[in-house]
Amino acid sequence: MPKDTAVYTHGHHESVLRSHTWRTAANSAAYLLDSLRPHMRILDIGCGPGTITADLAELVPDGHVTGVDRASGVLEQARATAAARGLANVDFAVGDVHALEYPDDTFCVVHAHQVLQHVGDPVQALREMHRVTRPGGFIAVRDADYAAMTWYPASEGLDDWLDLYRRVARANGGEPDAGRRLRSWALRAGLEDVRATSGTWTFATPQERAWWSGLWADRTLASAYADRVTGGDHATAEQLAAVSRAWREWGRHEDGWFSVLHGEILCRKDA
């Protein structure tokens, strides 16, 4: 089976995990929750620090959740998250969505949040997700769409950020505008019964603006993303510093508003 060749753009710097640990099943997988049943066995791909994974485990108390991620280091945080919540029906393993090490028809639900935008072959990833899903089960995928992100007030610095991020993500082998492509990728993978929806995150209160702008300002300067920007000659350290300042400036606007659009697909595998 093929292996992923894309580079994960963000890495796992504290500024990245600050965002990832905020994610819950309620704010990041609401489109899936009505389909869950207490007995289900779930595979959570790209689980990161495990906050969504732990929520899913609480929602299937008679079932089991397995979280997988390519980065072994972040799984220690995921295990700690599950342990702190007293969850006994969850485990974690290193895994690659292009070549999952599970038999056919293993899971009732295979879920991936913000994963396909970072992989080298999203169609193959969806084929693998479909393969390990039981007949009658669900493949659930949600990804942001960077080109559809919008904010107020206008900021040339954030325009520069968006252009730069999209170029770097594509140079790393990913597709930052994945949200709009999920249904197309699913159909190319041979999936049927594809329900396509969308959802948003919105940051508008003073606390939300400070948190969102702060994590991006820090990520722009200190994360693996920053190293990949300068190492790939996409921008200079001075240009990154200007983008970071633009994030903090936007966050100080009392009328500031930022919205992140996500594409979502929920696919039922034929029984």
Bridge partners (DSSP) of residue 45 are 68, 112
Provide the terminal-to-terminal Cα distance of the chain, rounded to the nearest Å: 25
Bridge partners (DSSP) of residue 195 are 266
Bridge partners (DSSP) of residue 264 are 142, 197
pTM of the model: 0.95
Structure tokens at 190: 């041979």
Q: Tokens 């779930």 identify what position?
A: 42
Whole-number pLDDT of residue 262: 98
Classify burial at 261, counting beta carbons within 10 Å of its beta carbon; exposed 0-12, middle 13-18, buried 19 or more. middle
Residues of the chain with confidence (pLDDT) below 70: 1-5
Whole-number pLDDT of residue 4: 55
Which residues 6+ apart lie within 8 Å of 237 measured at CB?
A: 230
Q: What is the pLDDT of residues 206-245, one digit of tens each?
A: 999 999 999 999 999 988 889 999 999 999 999 999 999 9
Distance between CA 241 and CA 258 in Å, rounded? 21
Mark 79-109 as b/e (b = at least 16 C-beta within 10 Å). bebbeeeebebbbbeebbbbebebeeebbbb
Whole-number pLDDT of residue 266: 98
Whole-number pLDDT of residue 1: 47
Distance between CA 263 and CA 202 in Å, rounded? 15
User: Is 213 in contact with 247 (CB distance < 8 Å)?
Assistant: yes
Whole-number pLDDT of residue 2: 56
Q: What are phi and psi of 141, to 5 degrees?
A: -135, 135
Q: What is the DSSP string of 115-143?
A: -GGGSS-HHHHHHHHHHTEEEEEEEEEEE
